[in-house]
Each structure stands twice: as structure tokens, then as C-alpha cells.
Amino acid sequence: MDDLFDLTGKIAVVTGGSRGLGLQMVRAFAQRGADVVIASRKLDACEAAADEVRAMGRRALATAVNASAWDQMDRLAEEAYAAFGRVDILVNNAGMSPAMPSHEMTEAWFDKIVSLNFKGPFRLAAQVAKRMYDGDGGAIINVSSSGALVPLPMVVAYSGAKAALNAMTVSLAREYGPKVRVNAISAGPFLTDISKAWTEEARERSGNSLGRPGRPEEIVTTALYLASPASSFTTGAIVRCDGGQS
């Protein structure tokens, strides 16, 4: 056990926690002693991840939610607190970034993208932050995107929603500090499920300083840093984990 990232006895909630970067974080938190609430759309995938956590000797709750829905974010918070009594770490990880020409964007798609990447995370973070503030405090991590800092064509709604998520991160850090720390991970291209739709060249090379996409497990140390007491003087920060995107 690395004492710097020791999460023994902590309760973590991870949206989009059944695959990709979310699953990597679930595994990392559990390996370091945390019990985990795993939320995503598909219950069977959440249960599979929960089984992994239980096999490590930790407790796990699997729950199916639509992370873009206001009322389901309320339900997720209630379920987490009913099961474990508190939340110490919240990771707003669920998101999507469909690429399409801006002039072809429908209102329904725009609302879906903004709701999943901003509205849902706002509601869940606000509900959990208030409870954390009234209790022993905690850490909130919003998974953002380099697309908010270096906007790209064809994903304007996504970039805008993630930029709003970055602003929310700083604002909530001020609103619920000093007991609640709120930070964001600005993630670059990662070889998660979404990369299956990329070209072979895009899966091997990227226009960042390292010249390649990230491996999913490379998100872990950034997440552990922000979730643990190792980052006790870090809040309202947008931490880039993008291979040097520019």
C-alpha cells in the first residue's frame, strides 16, 4: 500500500464507472481501500465491476442511472448515502462526444450532450457537495476534456459543455470550500471503447507532446492524487492529463 494514496475506509461514487476511465478509477480506489458505488446505464456492467471490487475485499453498490437526468442524479445520491452513510469521493466521469457538423446538430442531440456532460454532473456534485460540507468534507473530481481548452471542429456542443464543467469546478470549489475540494481532470485522447471508431493511425499517434493517445490506466495516478489527501492544498484546479495537448 502506498501511504500517499491510501483510501482505506473511504466511500467513492463513480459515474460511468463500469468501463473505460471510470472502471480504471473504480479499480484503483478499491485497490487502495475504498468502498465504491458504481453507476452507469447498464446494470449488468455495473454488477461485473462491483464483483471485481468485492473480490478485493471491499464493499460495492451497483446501480443503473442515466447520468444526464436531474432526478436520477438525486436518486444516485440518495442510494449512496442510504447504503454507506456518507460519500468521501465523487467522480463525475460519465460523458459522450459524438462528432457531427454543427449545422447538422439537432436540438435533441444538443440537449443530450449538454445534459450528460454538464447538467447531470452539476446536479450530482451540488447535492453531494452540500452533504459533504455538512459532514466531514470530501473530494469531487469532474472528468473534463482537452476539447474544452483546445476546442476542435465537429464537437462544439461537447467542448462547450466541458468548458462549462471547468467553470463549475472552480465555482463549486469556492462555494463549498474549505471542507470540500473540487477539481477537474482535463483528459486528452485515451484508448477507451470510443477509440474503436478511430482510424488505426489515430489509435497509434496523436498530435500531443508524447505523440500518442493515453492508455486507460494512465488516468489512475491523476485520479488518485485528486481523490486522496495527497492533494490537500489543491482545489479549483483543472489538471491536464492529455500527453501535452496543444
Domain ranges of the chain: 3-241
Q: How many CA atoms lie within 13 A of 169 on its CB side?
A: 30
pLDDT at residue 190 in the model: 87
- pLDDT tens for 98-144 read 899 999 999 999 999 999 999 999 999 999 999 999 999 999 999 99
Cβ burial of 183 (10 Å; 0-12, 13-18, 19+) is: buried
pLDDT at residue 201 in the model: 82
pLDDT at residue 205 in the model: 86
Active site residue 158: yes
pLDDT at residue 195 in the model: 61
Q: Which CATH class is domain 3-241?
A: alpha beta
Is 58 in contact with 33 (CB distance < 8 Å)? Answer: yes
How far, in Å, CA of 119 to CA of 150, rounded?
22
- pLDDT tens for 161-183 read 999 999 999 999 999 999 999 99
Residues in the chain with pLDDT < 50?
Answer: none
pLDDT at residue 198 in the model: 64
How far, in Å, CA of 219 to CA of 166, rounded?
18
Catalytic residue among 81, 133, 158, 225: 158
pLDDT at residue 110 in the model: 97
pLDDT at residue 1 in the model: 52
**What pTM, to 2 d.p., does this model score?**
0.95
- Nearest residue to 183 via CA among 91, 97, 94: 91
DSSP 162-196: HHHHHHHHHHHHHHHTTTEEEEEEEE--B-SGGGG
pLDDT at residue 2 in the model: 60
Is 138 in contact with 88 (CB distance < 8 Å)? Answer: yes
